[in-house]
């Protein structure tokens, strides 16, 4: 009996030893020194609340996988204005604000030429992959600093591959950086993914092959119906309501949206206004990874992907529409498919993902007004006209105001200097005049923004977006709920939470699961990646590395 007891005790002890060793081995499995692949995901016009507003209808493996198996920075904000697409994409990847990286808007006025400049415009290059000449005259040259993708190239002696992809050119070009292997964006006129001679002389064979398949036609061959029965979209307003815009050719802003008809009357660019633009982007991203063998070499590769369609949908239908909800339910499935592919391609332990947005989006002002909340549509044309008359009444019948753009006035500095007038005084006079205008909350002069350090809202955010050479002479801040836009759909660009508060999710290599309410800024993303990779910060970075979710 004692012999049997000792035999059983020995077996039990040995089993415990083996089990303990397995746990120890599992716990001490070394984390790779570096990820094989970093995937940065930017969603164009994603408000933070969309993570939770539609959560009950999300799948387990899309947004919720990143939220609950990754790390959720729940109080993440933009720290400048204007909160637009171009500046947002540049800021995520440079770790700094427009005051330093120079992408002060999507388009801005240039005094020296008296013309507008598009953020990715480059007339020195040509289109690659399309007969549409203007679509490819793009590069990152207007961005004045390096990106995290640039720093990765430098740190690996150009061995790492960095590629940017988005339907919008600026969503692909600015994240990819100055040293990118490629950036690809969508030409709606031809349905092709295109690039520019800044990156290459001809498209790779695999891109040509993808374009020839005309994959987008699969998504435009049938109407856009809701993913779920429309009665289940209880988080949104009724399908037919007065706060939504319509697509060209539609009589009412309701489901189903006749995509075959719209495609026939317009061009392939219609896909931008549908959730299938996201799926099409995901398809191309997966093909890019496979064709370029990203993550399959002995250095870290970086793919920057921006999903542009939510912005087009939000602008047209607004944040309370069934269209925007259906977009996010379908995007959740695309994110789930993409994560599944990435984990199968390189493994979770070799994969680092971050997901954020380039800005949020405002509530439709008329909807707020109808619900007894202060809001309004700002009519800048009337302000500009009266401001010009006011300046002429003070200083004579000259063209004192050259331009008004991005809620900033540009004074005629050459004329002012030639006449030996006081620029500072003229800025102050114009600012005082504008402050009296309905819908204006605050006004800042270039002199104040250049000579005073602001530490409170909204002055601090205006200053962080103010570039002394590129910005205007007088900058307006509108009241909460106000915007320059049409009466239906929505836009963005303000200092307020609905535009600045965006998701920031981390997942994969070295990322612990959890969440934090500590305030983080969009400028922290690039320095965090630099710290994880032990490479230099982008050269203009002002953000701080986030460390609380990092496994040692």
pLDDT single digits (tens) 503-545: 999 999 999 999 999 999 999 999 999 999 999 999 999 999 9
* Confidence at residue 552, expressed as pLDDT on a 0 to 100 scale: 67
**279 found inside a domain:** yes
Output the domain CATH number for residue 445: 3.30.1360.150
In this structure, are 50 and 127 located in the same domain?
A: yes
User: DSSP string spanning 452-480?
Assistant: ----STTHHHHHHT--TTTS-SEEEEEPT
Q: Residue 442: is it exposed, middle or buried by C-beta count within 10 angstroms (0-12/13-18/19+)?
A: middle
Instruction: Count CB atoms within 10 A of the CB of residue 450.
Output: 11
CA–CA separation, 161 and 180 (whole Å) = 7
In this structure, are 351 and 389 located in the same domain?
A: no
* Confidence at residue 29, expressed as pLDDT on a 0 to 100 scale: 54
In this structure, are 45 and 122 located in the same domain?
A: yes
* Confidence at residue 22, expressed as pLDDT on a 0 to 100 scale: 43
pLDDT single digits (tens) 374-396: 999 999 999 999 999 999 999 99
* Confidence at residue 195, expressed as pLDDT on a 0 to 100 scale: 98
**148 found inside a domain:** yes
Residues catalogued as catalytic: 85
In this structure, are 324 and 348 located in the same domain?
A: yes
**25 found inside a domain:** no
Burial string for 385-401 (b: 16+ CB within 10 Å, else e) reads: eebeebbeeebeeeebb
In this structure, are 359 and 406 located in the same domain?
A: no
Residues 6 or more apart from 222 whose CB is under 8 A from it? 259, 260
pLDDT mean for each 10 residues of the chain (552 residues): 44 44 48 94 98 98 98 98 98 98 98 97 98 95 98 98 98 98 98 98 98 97 98 97 94 96 94 98 98 97 98 98 98 98 97 98 97 97 97 97 98 97 98 97 98 94 98 98 96 98 98 97 98 97 92 72
Q: With CA atoms as reference, report the closest residue to 175 among 186, 164, 166, 184.
A: 164
In this structure, are 271 and 350 located in the same domain?
A: yes
In this structure, are 461 and 500 located in the same domain?
A: no
Q: Are 68 and 507 in contact (CB under 8 A)?
A: no
In this structure, are 279 and 421 located in the same domain?
A: no
Segments forming the whole domain that contains residue 73: 37-364+496-533
Q: With CA atoms as reference, report the closest residue to 50 among 255, 247, 354, 326.
A: 326
In this structure, are 162 and 194 located in the same domain?
A: yes
**222 found inside a domain:** yes
360: β partners: none
Secondary structure string (H, E, C) spanning 185-250: EEECCCCEEEEECCCCCCCCHHHHHHHHCCCHHHHCCCCECCCCCHHHCCCCCCCCCCCCCCCCCC
Q: Residue 108: is it exposed, middle or buried by C-beta count within 10 angstroms (0-12/13-18/19+)?
A: buried
Q: With CA atoms as reference, report the closest residue to 358 among 100, 12, 92, 81.
A: 92
In this structure, are 60 and 164 located in the same domain?
A: yes
**8 found inside a domain:** no
Q: How many domains does the chain have?
A: 2
Report strand pairing: 71-77 vs 504-508. antiparallel
In this structure, are 292 and 343 located in the same domain?
A: yes
Residues 6 or more apart from 467 whose CB is under 8 A from it? 98, 99, 100, 102, 104
In this structure, are 332 and 416 located in the same domain?
A: no
Q: Are 196 and 127 in contact (CB under 8 A)?
A: yes
* Confidence at residue 6, expressed as pLDDT on a 0 to 100 scale: 45
Q: Are 107 and 170 in contact (CB under 8 A)?
A: no
């Amino acid at each position: 009996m004692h012999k049997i007891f000792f035999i059983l005790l020995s077996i039990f002890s040995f089993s415990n030893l083996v089990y303990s060793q397995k746990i120890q081995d599992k716990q001490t499995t070394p984390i790779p020194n570096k990820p094989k692949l970093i995937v940065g995901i930017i969603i164009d016009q994603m408000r933070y609340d969309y993570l939770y507003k539609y959560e009950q209808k999300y799948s387990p493996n899309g947004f919720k996988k990143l939220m609950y198996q990754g790390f959720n920075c729940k109080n993440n904000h933009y720290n400048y204005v204007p909160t637009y697409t171009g500046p947002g994409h540049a800021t995520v990847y440079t770790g700094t604000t427009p005051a330093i990286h120079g992408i002060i808007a999507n388009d801005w006025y240039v005094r020296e030429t008296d013309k507008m400049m598009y953020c990715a415009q480059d007339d020195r290059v040509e289109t690659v992959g399309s007969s549409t000449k203007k679509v490819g005259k793009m590069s990152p040259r207007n961005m004045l600093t390096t990106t995290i993708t640039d720093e990765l190239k430098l740190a690996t002696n150009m061995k790492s591959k960095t590629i940017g992809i988005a339907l919008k050119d600026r969503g692909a070009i600015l994240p990819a950086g100055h040293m990118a292997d490629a950036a690809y964006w969508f030409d709606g006129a031809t349905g092709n993914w295109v690039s520019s001679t800044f990156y290459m002389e001809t498209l790779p064979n695999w891109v040509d092959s993808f374009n020839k398949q005309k994959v987008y036609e699969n998504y435009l061959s049938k109407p856009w119906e809701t993913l779920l029965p429309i009665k289940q979209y209880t988080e949104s307003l009724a399908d037919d309501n007065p706060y939504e815009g319509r697509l060209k050719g539609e009589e009412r802003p309701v489901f189903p949206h006749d995509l075959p008809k719209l495609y026939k009357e317009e061009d392939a660019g219609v896909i931008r206004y549908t959730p299938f633009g996201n799926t099409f982007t995901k398809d191309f991203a997966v093909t890019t990874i496979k064709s370029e063998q990203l993550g399959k070499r002995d250095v870290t590769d970086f793919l920057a992907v921006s999903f542009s369609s939510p912005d087009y949908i939000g602008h047209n239908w607004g944040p309370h529409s069934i269209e925007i909800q259906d977009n996010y339910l379908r995007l959740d499935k695309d994110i789930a498919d993409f994560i599944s592919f990435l984990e199968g391609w390189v493994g979770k332990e070799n994969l680092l993902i971050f997901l954020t947005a380039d800005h949020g989006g405002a509530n439709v002002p008329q909807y707020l007004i109808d619900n007894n909340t202060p809001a309004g549509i700002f009519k800048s044309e009337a302000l500009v006209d009266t401001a010009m008359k006011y300046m002429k009444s003070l200083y004579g019948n000259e063209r004192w105001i050259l331009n008004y753009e991005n809620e900033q006035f540009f004074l005629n500095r050459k004329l002012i200097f030639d006449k030996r007038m006081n620029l500072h005084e003229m800025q102050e006079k114009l600012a005082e005049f504008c402050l009296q205008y309905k819908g204006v909350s605050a006004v800042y002069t270039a002199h104040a923004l250049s000579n005073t350090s602001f530490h409170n809202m909204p002055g601090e955010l205006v200053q962080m977006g103010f570039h002394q050479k590129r910005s205007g002479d007088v900058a307006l801040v509108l009241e909460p709920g106000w915007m320059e836009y049409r009466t239906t759909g929505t836009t963005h660009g303000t200092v307020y939470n609905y535009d600045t508060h965006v998701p920031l999710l981390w997942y994969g290599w070295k990322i612990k699961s959890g969440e934090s309410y500590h305030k983080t800024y969009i400028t922290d993303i690039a320095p965090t990646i630099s710290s994880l990779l032990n490479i230099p910060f982008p050269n203009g970075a002002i953000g701080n590395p986030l460390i609380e979710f990092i496994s040692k």
